[in-house]
Amino acid sequence: MLIAFIVIISLSILILGHEAGHFFAAKFFGIKVSEFGFGFPPRIKAWRFKRKKGLSSQISFTPKNLPSKFSGASGETWEDETEYSFNFLPFGGFVKIAGEEEQITSPEKLGELSPEEKKKYFLFQPAWKRFVVIASGVSVNFAIGWFLLSVVFMLGAPSSAIVVGGVQVGSPAEKAGIAAGDIIKNYSTADNFRNFVNKNRGQEINLQIIRGGKELEFKAVPRVSTKQGEGALGVEFSESGIKPLGFFSALVAGFKESIYISGATFAAFYELLKNLILRGSLLAGVVGPVGIFAIAQKTGELGIIYLFQLIAFISLNLAVLNLIPFPALDGGRLFLIIIEKLKGSPVSVKTQSLINSFGFALLLFLMVIITVRDVVNLF
């Protein structure tokens, strides 16, 4: 139960951090942010900051129903732009930036804006500013992953086992029955396990696996030859034993590991799409929220430091997946901005709406299928 609580809080922080990246970038460029929400509706409470004009250091709270500008009896002017809300569902948060959705939901409102008001709307910003605002969420997730991995390298962790993060489709590991979240015993470092597998290419090997608190044994035959991006066994794994490093060495090691994980995530997403198109099925190692909780429970058995490592992996995965040029994701929006610069004019609102609707529907479909499979795998 404690592990589940930690994972829920951690995932919420990762999502909230992503949205905070958009928020602070928009604020930096002077773009109006209509609302920053902690959690998702229904709403519990909302408020706005207020300050005396010309005295930016004087900050206090004002009720949510206060007008944007309020002049008191003494002639004081209060400025009130962003609404901050606490909401009932504590799963991350959201940010509403003025001018992001209005071109679809209320285009007539945009036509009524004055030139001064347009300067604060996202839609009317130069392409490079819009690009930075959108990309800032991804940057925060990468930074969080890098930070957590650096902390793991600084603190170190006792040697215990190898944790399987994913399994490639059609690989020897998949054929043997190995799955994401399995713990491979008897190997304290990733190099030791990798060397063992490579030395036994083409030969049957025995692997002791811990799954759900039970010890199992699997037999597999590592591939003799591999293509780029493949491993002899076909598993993504991380070592549970980590020697403590100094501050700067940990930062460097954390950055290198973050780059490696990001690259592996890109490769995995490519395999996912290829498998969906060519075979009409999902990769064995792909998991959703339910699967993440199951893996976190197993990882938590190794110790809290390994749970931090898992959360770092999730944060880096969020960064990479959001950067992929897929409709309805940040990467898709960035891709549209690039197209806009290449063609010299924005992509039409109708086209953007169709692309995003299709992408959202496809993502929802994938999440339902993955969740169903995760639930089935629990039993």
In the prediction, which pLDDT does 64 show? 45
Q: Which CATH architecture has domain 159-241?
A: Roll (2.30)
DSSP 8-state symbol, 92: E
- Is the pLDDT reported for residue 25 higher than 50? yes
Range from 101-110, 133-142, 249-258, 313-322 carrying the lowest mean pLDDT: 101-110
> Angle 311-190-145 (CA atoms, 0-180°, nearest 5)?
20
In the prediction, which pLDDT does 370 show? 72
- In 2-54, where do the E strands start and end? 33-52
Range from 202-206, 310-314, 355-359 carrying the lowest mean pLDDT: 355-359
At position 96, the amino acid (one-letter code) is K
Q: In what order do the strands lie in the sheet with 183-184?
A: 214-220, 205-211, 183-184, 162-167, 235-239
Report the Cα 279 to chain-centroid distance in Å. Answer: 27
**Which tokens hold the place of 276?**
């969906």
In the prediction, which pLDDT does 70 show? 44
Give the residue extent of every domain in the chain. Answer: 126-157+245-379, 159-241
- Is the pLDDT reported for residue 155 higher than 90? no
In the prediction, which pLDDT does 297 show? 64
| pLDDT bracket for residue 58 (50, 70, 90) | very low
- Is the pLDDT reported for residue 217 higher than 60? yes
In the prediction, which pLDDT does 351 show? 82
In the prediction, which pLDDT does 131 show? 94
**Mean pLDDT in the chain?**
79
Range from 8-22, 76-90, 239-253 carrying the lowest mean pLDDT: 76-90
